[in-house]
Amino acid sequence: MTWNIVDHEKAVELLQRAVADEARLSHAYLFAGPEQVGRATVARRFAQALNCDAGASLFSGGDGSAVPCLECRACRLIGDGKHPDVETVTIGGFCYESEHDHSKDNSRDIRICQLRYLERTVHRAPFEGRVRVVIVDPADAMTREAANSFLKTLEEPPAHVVLVLITAREEALPETVRSRCRRIVFGGVTREEIEAALKERWQADADTAARLARMAQGRLGWAVDALQNESLLETREDVLDEIEELLRGGDRERFAYAKSMGERYQRNDAGVRESLDTWSAWWRDVLLTASGDEELASATDRLDTLRSHASQYGVEGAFRALRALNDVQQHLDEHASPTLALEVMLLELPRSS
């Protein structure tokens, strides 16, 4: 586990070489991959490696090992999110306008005023470390106006700055932004790695670790959250119950559900997207079961229902559902009406015969 990271060996190896050899270090990186697989954790380790007080970084003239000690003052401050030279720009964060309070205005975007604040920050010399690291997460939340204002900084940042953009929806970023970054792809963590990590690092019992690793769909972060917060599993069960009920119902029930979810999206878009991820995971399981690979399914606690849906809807129905779910995520990315987008999705889903 290089850098004390679970999985992602190729990504860590590439970043480690960049820390050890200044000629390999890019000014901007794009960490692309699914939610909760460890992208932000790797970004923090990268910042620690660049600023470690123990001499791991090339900038210190150290031994070139490029492995952060995780114990020095710099590593501890970065790990706690308190280092003055490592900043995360996110939804609801600080901005250029002092009268704005995006933590209270229900903002769902990273706005241009936040990027203007960032532009002022990056041109200052590091206060305590060697490298100022700015993490934009999620980068796809930047408005078009904000992304355009960020282009010059991306193209020609000061020499002491490294930018890391994190996204689960790479296609939502303008090509002008993507082309200015070095792309590093993150896949899901293997089921075996998640199970082992839950037991070794978070002291989960064997049965719980195996169950959560199966449900996690490669998302170690989700598995850890579910281990520490039982309400996540309760929410998952509620969504699965809703799926069963809606598939038995008619158009009236589907329109009512779309309206309810659309209204909820205005208050908690992340919660709605998590519900849609649960829908996608369910239809993936239906597809696997219909294809004769039910042992790969995550929802084996509902195997009887899975088999019933696989028999009723088949591979074609599962593909249709997954396509509709992919489309609704794209429509939401494009700021379509949430209720309308959800109505279209629900009407595309297969129906009970």
Evaluate whether the domain defined by 2-185 bears CATH number 3.40.50.300: yes
**Alpha carbon 143 to its chain's center:** 18
Q: What whole-number distance in Å separates Cα of residue 55 and Cα of residue 62? A: 4
Give the residue, 62 or 231, on which the prediction is more confident. 231
Mean pLDDT of 198-225: 94
Helix, strand or coil, per DSSP, at residue 223: helix
Q: What is the mean pLDDT of residues 141-145?
A: 90
Cβ(288)–Cβ(294) below 8 Å: yes
Using the predicted structure, report yes or no on whether residue 178 has a pLDDT greater than 50: yes
The region, left, alpha or beta by phi > 0 then psi within -120 to 50, assigned to residue 336 is beta
Q: For the ranges 19-23, 85-89, 158-162, 208-212, which has the lowest average pLDDT?
A: 19-23
How confident is residue 265, by pLDDT bands cut at 50, 70 and 90? Answer: very high
The mean pLDDT value of the chain amounts to: 89
- Distance between CA atoms of residues 103 and 100, nearest Å: 9
Structural Rg of the chain based on CA atoms: 22
Q: What is the pTM of this model?
A: 0.86
- Asked if 32 contacts 38 with a C-beta cutoff of 8 angstroms, the reply is no
**Which residues neighbour 250 within 8 Å (Cβ) at sequence distance 6 or greater?**
none
Quick one: average pLDDT of 269-280? 92
CA distance 307 to 303: 6
Phi, psi (5° rounding) for residue 132?
-85, 120
301, 224 contact by CB (below 8 A): no
pLDDT at 229 over 80: yes
The residue among 106, 103, 170, 113 whose CA lies nearest residue 138 is 170
How is the beta sheet containing 28-32 ordered, strand by strand?
A: 86-89, 132-136, 161-167, 28-32, 182-185
Backbone angles phi, psi at 209, to 5 degrees: -60, -45
Query: What tens digit of pLDDT does each residue of 15-63 get?
Result: 999 998 888 899 999 999 999 999 999 999 999 999 998 864 555 444 4
Closest-CA residue to 79 (of 46, 56, 127): 46
Confidence bin at 353 (pLDDT 50/70/90): low
Catalogue the E-assigned strands of the chain: 28-32, 86-89, 132-136, 161-167, 182-185
Alpha-carbon distance 10 to 31, whole Å? Answer: 13
